[in-house]
Amino acid sequence: MCSFLGCSRLTPVAALALLAGMAGAQTPDTVRRSLGATISGVVHDSLARAPLPGAMVQLVSADSAAHSGRTAIADSLGRFAISGVPDGHYMLGFFHPMLDSLGMEPPLRDVVVAGQQPVTADLAIPSPSRLRAAICGPVAPSAPGAAIVGVVRDARDNATIAGATVTGEWLELSFTSAGVVHRRPRLTATTTESGWFAICNVPNPGNVALVASRGMDSTDRIEVQVPAEGFLRRELYVGPARAVRRLSGIVVTSADWTPLAGARVSISDGPRTVANARGEWTLVDAPAGTRMLQVLAVGYYPERRRVDVVSGAPPVRVELSTVRAVLDTIKVTAIRMSAPNLEGFRKRQRTTAGRFITPEDIARRQPLATGDLFRTMQDLSLDERAVGPKTILMRGGIGWCAPGVYVDDHFMRDLTLDDINAIVQPREVGGIEIYTEASAPPQFQRMDGCGSIVIWTK
């Protein structure tokens, strides 16, 4: 794989050794240093479009071992300064954990010092387009062209894992004369000795499902959004199901940060808990590794996010927005938005193979809870066990499975029957669409092999 220095890629460790060898084992010459020039600049993170604090900046002689190596640490604004530099030709570079996760060697630049004239030399992690080109090579016109890179680590001790498998999968729809053709492309990468991986030619932009595994240990199925820049970096922690850690946090409102007592917090296929009066919560037996956290509260939009369940993980702060707050932000266009939604519902009712529940159906059935509307529907089953979460199951091509649930066009993964009843009351339902995997329109297709339930509120 080509690097920015050429096609013979150096690891960060090898590059560090090279720089150290160039510097030599010299002791600082404080007299000469005080008479030399000052080299200063800023280290930038081009991916985050922000300074890179904590970077270790190193200056070494490029034409002689007579000058000692100099080191400075970038401050909170990414600024660094190295003073007392004698005349000469130097190489300037920096080290940071971010470089390891990107699988690249330290970027170097030439610096020439003549007299005591100050020298300004900024450093940066290369731009997303340059990183993508260096890692994946030229992009074919028909290829998506985006890249996902990162490092896989062991959730128990934070060590990098060689030989782990990382799989990326996404949904592609093609419109042909025979109808809509569904494909689920899948790409797999194996981590290097340093735990680094790269998956090239994923959608740009688009949603990709990632799973990292080693033997029986794995992450959850993590959904990531590839940005328009076409480059995404993610660290993944693999852990065995039997290894558990504590994960804690707080749930507040996004409007005024008021604690949300009673909010339900859960890990996908893992433990659940309820926030206390101060909005604080703790999962004492969360499975170690990269997992999906879901937070629900009555009257608020659910929140799903990736969390790393590892030793020393910082508290997770979740801010939930109310339905009213979200509607207030679109109040000006609400009249224009509602008509297409209603029109789309009625059009799909006439033209698709789904099943539909109208306001008239709801008025006739008079359900006590929204979930009651699904009790008598063919190919749907309500799993209402006395212990554990109550769920809706759908009969599909892979057997009984949990369908994807949409509320007002927002996908809400892993909603239980109780969650649906809490979020939407029967009097608030304007219509419901139910699709199998084969009959779902493109906008309601999922990648998990199951169908979809779409709930529209009035």
The backbone torsions φ and ψ at residue 340, rounded to the nearest 5 degrees and listed phi first, read -60, -35
In order, the DSSP letters of 368-427 are SSGGGGGTT-TTEEEE--SSS--EEEEEETTEEE--EEEETTEEETT--HHHHHHH--GG
Tokens for 77, please give them.
């604004």
| pLDDT value, residue 345 | 84
| pLDDT value, residue 152 | 95
Q: What is d(CA 132, CA 151) in angstroms, rounded to the nearest whole number?
A: 16
Q: What is d(CA 9, CA 2) in angstroms, rounded to the nearest whole number?
A: 6
Express each pLDDT in 346-405 by its tens digit: 888 888 888 899 888 888 888 888 888 888 787 888 876 655 567 888 887 667 888 888
Global pTM exceeds 0.75? no
Residues 6+ apart with CB under 8 A from 265: 249, 251, 272, 273, 274, 275, 281, 283, 293, 294, 295, 318
Residue 373 burial (CB count, 10 A): 21
The one-character DSSP state at 300 is B
Alpha carbon of 343 to those of 124, 326, 339, 348: distances in Å? 50, 22, 6, 9
The parts of the chain modelled with pLDDT lower than 70 are: 1-34, 64-68, 140-144, 173-182, 241, 323-342, 384-389, 397-398, 413-414, 447-449
